[in-house]
Amino acid sequence: KLVEFRNEAKLLALKEDIKLTYMAFISKAVLIALKEFPIFNSSYDAEKGEVYLKKQINLGFAVDTPDGLIVPNIKNANDLAIFPLATKIDYLATKTIERKLSLSEQQNGTFSITNFGSIGIPFGVPIINYPEVAILGIGRINKKPIVVDDSIKIGYMLPLSLGVDHRIIDGADAGRFLNKIKELLNNPTLLVLS
């Protein structure tokens, strides 16, 4: 459903000169999930043994550059709909690759996404961007055989992986967080209604 929804929305985005990638939809799903599970939008100070829940969501995303991964972040990303998110992602990714990113655009992230799929890797294990407490890894979307109503059909699959700091977040909550993202991506109209 996400592939179909994006293909339809892509036509509208092109009219507004917006590059609409899957990252905008995944980012929006993460932002909605972070509102429901605020502990994932926190930081941990190991020295003081304190967890800080963040009011704002500064959504980071890893960008592959010749100098390695750099993680810009979208300040107050929770205030943005999908098209503005897509615009901001494209803008910051371009600035990052061109080495024009300011220090402030890299600081104070609260949650990050890393996209293994952008370089053709189906699955990976993301490493948390300290002092954040969690990171979402997204793999490459591929067609796979799936079972639908006791029949084998071809469907699109998006591998997701979540790295969490287990001092702060337990596995059950991590599973619920991933299930929320899965629910939203399987029902993409929820992304525009939230």
Question: Could you give the residue numbers annotated as active site?
Answer: 166
> Per-residue DSSP letters for 125-144?
-----TTBSEEEEE---EEE
189: Cβ contacts below 8 Å, ≥ 6 apart: 5
Own/partner contacts of 8-16, CB < 8 Å, gap of 24 or more, are 9/82, 13/83, 13/86, 16/83
Categorise residue 79: left if φ over 0, alpha if ψ from -120 to 50, beta otherwise.
alpha
CA dist list (Å): 38 to 31, 116, 166: 10, 25, 15
Categorise residue 88: left if φ over 0, alpha if ψ from -120 to 50, beta otherwise.
alpha
